[in-house]
Amino acid sequence: MTAHDLATWDVAVMNRSLLRAESYETQQRDMLLSSGLSTRYGLGVTVTTGFGGRRRITHGGAVSGYTTTNDVYPDQHAGVVVFTNIYPGAAGATGQIAGRIAAILFAETDSSTRIARGQARKIYDNLVRGSIDPALFSDNGRAYFSQEVLDDYRASLAPLGTPTEFTALGESLRGGMVIRSYRIRAGGVMMDLTTMTLPDGRIEQYLIARAG
């Protein structure tokens, strides 16, 4: 189908206008293993959380020539459909694009998201200088940033100069922590940042890697 047709289907899913309400509830219910563990999967769709911890019904796909990501945020009555051509280096492109669009859709309403982004940027700027604010991190987070690691971050980031892009891509929940992802561009280099934040607000992990 075309992107327009898929978006039309998403509207029907959000309005629950084609199937019985019970059918949508069954499709979007997270299936559990016999052990009680979550599979994060319903009937043909992944049941997870997207930007800002919002409930997200999602699925990706690919056939000869193109790849897709389809994200539906039923509680916000919003959907994101992304189609791209398949080309070398395109792996994950539709998911990244969908995440950026969700960030545009929802970021202005999330003060917590803006605060988290500001904090992530502050930490980045400190790493450029080879330091961190220990109060922002958990014991594990502080232990990771040894002097050797700080020196390595400074040597890697300082030559790139001031970032020209620092974009929040999305959020999810895992193990009681908030997982946030960002895309950073500095000195012509694209980087991915992942943060893991404990319920008390302290950062457990802050990891920067060159974008693949």
Picking from 153, 152, 163, the residue whose alpha carbon sits closest to that of residue 128 is 153
> Order of strands across the sheet with 165-174?
165-174, 177-186, 189-197, 203-210
CA–CA gap between residue 203 and residue 39 (Å, rounded): 26
Whose structure tokens read 């390595």?
A: 152
List every span in the chain annotated with CATH 3.10.450.
110-210
**What pLDDT, on a 0 to 100 scale, did the predictor assign at position 212?**
67
Local confidence pLDDT in tens for the 212 residues of the chain: 889 999 999 999 999 999 998 999 999 988 888 888 888 888 989 888 877 778 899 998 888 788 899 999 998 899 999 999 887 666 678 888 888 888 788 765 567 778 888 999 999 999 999 999 999 999 999 999 999 999 999 999 999 999 999 988 877 777 788 898 899 999 999 999 999 999 899 999 999 999 86
46-49, strands of its sheet edge to edge: 46-49, 55-63, 66-73, 78-85
Residue pLDDT, tens place only, 181-212: 899 999 999 999 999 999 899 999 999 999 86
**Which CATH entry fits the domain spanning 110-210: 3.10.450, 2.60.40, 3.30.70, 3.40.30?**
3.10.450
E strand intervals along the chain: 46-49, 55-63, 66-73, 78-85, 165-174, 177-186, 189-197, 203-210
How far is 67 from 90, CA to CA, in rounded Å? Answer: 9
| pTM score of the predicted model | 0.56
Phi, psi at 97, each rounded to 5°: -65, -45
